[in-house]
Structure 1
């Protein structure tokens, strides 16, 4: 019975990390992305941050900071890729 709770906690973590990542990126640099993309970016940022934090044996606070920083970078990259440039 632990698989559903693991999936739910991963989705909640992805939402929180994705929203924090979106808050870090300045509004003028952000293209509108949907809720699903925010969750996906948050999940990816949380996973990559956890891998980096495990590699350097970081505590929980540094792990959270790394996850949010990676999610913010991903939000910035996705926004830059999806932004429309005037011709």
Structure 2
């Protein structure tokens, strides 16, 4: 489980928890379906998390970056996480 980050919204934690359990690539629409959140809101937050370096987006398909995996492993401090 990731620590509390001041600029995260509640869905950000749900997104990261999903990817912590499923290290896969998928669209925001598929992710929204799986975590039971609005697709547009998930897409908006995925862009924020991508700008922070946690996810890569290739043609609308998101996957964790190595930095994102380090963050989930607890190896990244909040100070090292760029605020988008």
Q: Specify which structure has the bigger relative contact order, considering alpha-carbon pairs within 8 angstroms and separated by 6 or more residues.
A: 1
Structure (1/2) with the larger helix percentage: 1
Larger radius of gyration: 1
Structure (1/2) with the larger strand percentage: 2
Q: TM-score, normalised by structure 2?
A: 0.30
